[in-house]
């Protein structure tokens, strides 16, 4: 069995920027295959009776921004705090669902996050999607039509019970052989588990 | 200025077991002085409008137990899941307050956590306190009388606004030169910051 890691990506998640940016290189170096699993976190938490993680402006939220920037700096990643947070990520998750199905999820997702987190081209805006789709070599009109189809809507909806089955409650999440790892700071552990299981 | 780290300890905190067990050796090796700051987290979060972190039995809670045990194993620390969680930590925090004032907080706190997390001698029970105080070379009757005094009660109460001032919302927390680090997995970063500031 090839070493393999499920990467559950929520496009509105802050720390996911770090993992989206890092996982491609790390997994390739370690011979681990990434199984991209775009999902929408809100209904997952809602069905689990979990509220929003914390109120904007609270000490907990303030710390997230401090820690996120500090981590980006430590990891050597460019970082520019986006002007908008939170935002509704369901539409971009539908495009991610098309991308995962067709095999270009990494290129699209890396570009969409990079635009949002380093250039102020906000996630899911027409400019963000156009540039990220172009980076993935895709025709925007074709993909956006497909992303609105009942089939893709249903595929994204089906991610909710699949996430819950795995015990997922946040993002980024990694699943290796049924074992859950949550948070960018568990990415290395998850990859190590994938190598052991592979 | 000597390198110095404030360690904000909540006796009911799960991940604090990892930090309480590790910080003494790491700080000593790195020439960092630990400023023990026992506190009671509940009123801090309450005054910040933050609810309990997550409901017992939720996916989030289940993951905490999985991750905590995995981390303990990775760090080479003994681990035995205590039978009781959560519990009220205010009484033991008062003893910690006496300990911090008198300079034996590390010995007491290490012993209390070790008993709770490796031997099933639950935090704050008479047996736990008696053994932890003995490990710190203290007379239980003297300390327990002092811990119930208005002076110590007030000292613990004053930790709440001090914690809020620092942006603290959880435990373990570390503060270096006014900068907050939260979580056992930020202990190394906090110590590094202390060495730089020292």
A30-42 pLDDT tens trace: 999 999 999 999 9
Among B18, B62, B63, the strongest candidate for a mutation testing the A interface, having the largest count of A CBs within 10 A, is: B63
Measured CA to CA, the distance from residue A198 to residue A115 in angstroms comes to 33
A59/B164 CB distance under 8 A: yes
Check residue B158 and give its pLDDT: 98
Which chain B residues contact residue A60 at CB under 8 A?
48, 50, 169-170
Interval B96-122: pLDDT, tens:
999 999 999 999 999 999 999 999 999
Interval B114-149: pLDDT, tens:
999 999 999 999 999 999 999 999 999 999 999 999
Residue B1 pLDDT greater than 80, yes or no:
no
Q: In which band, very low, low, confident or very high, does the pLDDT at A101 lie, cut at 50, 70 and 90?
A: very high
Mean pLDDT along residues A111-135: 98
Which chain B residues contact residue A66 at CB under 8 A?
180
Distances (CA, A) of A80 to A59, A67, A73, A121, B189: 21, 13, 11, 11, 22
Dihedral sign for Cα atoms in the order A103, A166, A180, B23: positive
Q: Which of A55, A58, A169 sits opposite B60 (nearest CB)?
A: A169
Record the pTM.
0.96
Give the orientation angle of helix A90-102 with respect to helix A126-135, to 10 degrees. 10
A67/B186 CB distance under 8 A: yes
Q: How far is A122 from chain B (nearest CA, A)?
A: 28
A49/B67 CB distance under 8 A: no
Q: Which of B48, B70, B182 sits opposite A58 (nearest CB)?
A: B48
Give Cβ neighbours of residue A88 (< 8 Å, ≥ 6 apart): A12, A124
Check residue A52 and give its pLDDT: 75
Give Cβ neighbours of residue B41 (< 8 Å, ≥ 6 apart): B10, B12, B13, B89, B163, B170, B171
Which chain B residues contact residue A55 at CB under 8 A?
49-50
The residues that bridge with B8 in the sheet, in sequence order, are B37, B173
Q: How far is B175 from chain A (nearest CA, A)?
A: 12
Please give the share of chain A, as a percent, with pLDDT higher than 70: 99
B60/A51 CB distance under 8 A: no
DSSP codes joined into one string, chain A: ---EEEEEE-TT-STHHHHHHHHHHHHHHHT-EEEEEE--HHHHHHHTT---SS-TTSHHHHHHHHHHHHHHHHTT------S--S---HHHHHHHHHHHHHT-HHHHHHHHHHHHHHS---TTSHHHHHHHHHHTT--HHHHHHHHTSHHHHHHHHHHHHHHHHTT--SSSEEEETTEEEESGGGHHHHHHHHHHH-
Q: In which band, very low, low, confident or very high, does the pLDDT at B54 lie, cut at 50, 70 and 90?
A: confident
Residue B52 pLDDT greater than 80, yes or no:
no
Check residue A102 and give its pLDDT: 98
Measured CA to CA, the distance from residue B60 to residue A53 in angstroms comes to 11
Give the mean pLDDT of chain A: 96
Q: How far is B67 from chain A (nearest CA, A)?
A: 8
Please give the share of chain A, as a percent, with pLDDT higher than 90: 92
Q: How far is A19 from chain B (nearest CA, A)?
A: 17
Q: How many CB pairs under 8 A join A and B?
A: 57
Residue B30 pLDDT greater than 90, yes or no:
yes
Check residue A1 and give its pLDDT: 62
Give Cβ neighbours of residue A126 (< 8 Å, ≥ 6 apart): none
The helix or strand, by DSSP H or E, that contains position B4, with its residue range, turns out to be strand B4-9
Nearest CA in chain A to B180: A63
Give the mean pLDDT of chain B: 96
Mean pLDDT along residues A71-85: 97
Among B59, B72, B177, B186, the strongest candidate for a mutation testing the A interface, having the largest count of A CBs within 10 A, is: B59
Check residue A55 and give its pLDDT: 83
Measured CA to CA, the distance from residue A134 to residue A114 in angstroms comes to 14
Q: How far is A108 from chain B (nearest CA, A)?
A: 29
Q: Which of B62, B164, B185 sits opposite A167 (nearest CB)?
A: B62
Interval A133-188: pLDDT, tens:
999 999 999 999 999 999 999 999 999 999 999 999 999 999 999 999 999 999 99
The residues that bridge with B36 in the sheet, in sequence order, are B7
């Amino acid at each position: 069995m090839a070493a393999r890691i499920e990467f559950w990506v929520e496009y509105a998640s802050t720390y996911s920027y770090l993992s989206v940016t890092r996982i491609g290189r790390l997994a390739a170096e370690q011979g681990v295959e990434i199984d991209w699993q775009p999902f929408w976190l809100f209904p997952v938490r809602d069905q689990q009776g979990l509220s929003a993680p914390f109120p904007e402006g609270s000490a907990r939220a303030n710390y997230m921004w401090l820690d996120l920037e500090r981590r980006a700096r430590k990891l050597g990643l460019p970082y520019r705090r986006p002007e908008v947070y939170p935002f509704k990520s369901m539409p971009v998750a539908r495009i991610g669902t098309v991308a995962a199905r067709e095999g270009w999820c990494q290129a699209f997702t890396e570009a969409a996050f990079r635009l949002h987190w380093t250039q102020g081209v906000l996630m899911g805006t027409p400019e963000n999607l156009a540039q990220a789709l172009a980076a993935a070599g895709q025709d925007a009109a074709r993909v956006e039509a497909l992303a609105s189809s009942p089939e893709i809507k249903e595929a994204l909806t089906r991610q909710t019970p699949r996430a819950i089955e795995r015990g997922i409650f946040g993002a980024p999440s990694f699943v290796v052989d049924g074992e859950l790892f949550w948070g960018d700071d568990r990415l290395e552990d998850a990859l190590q588990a994938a190598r052991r299981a592979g």
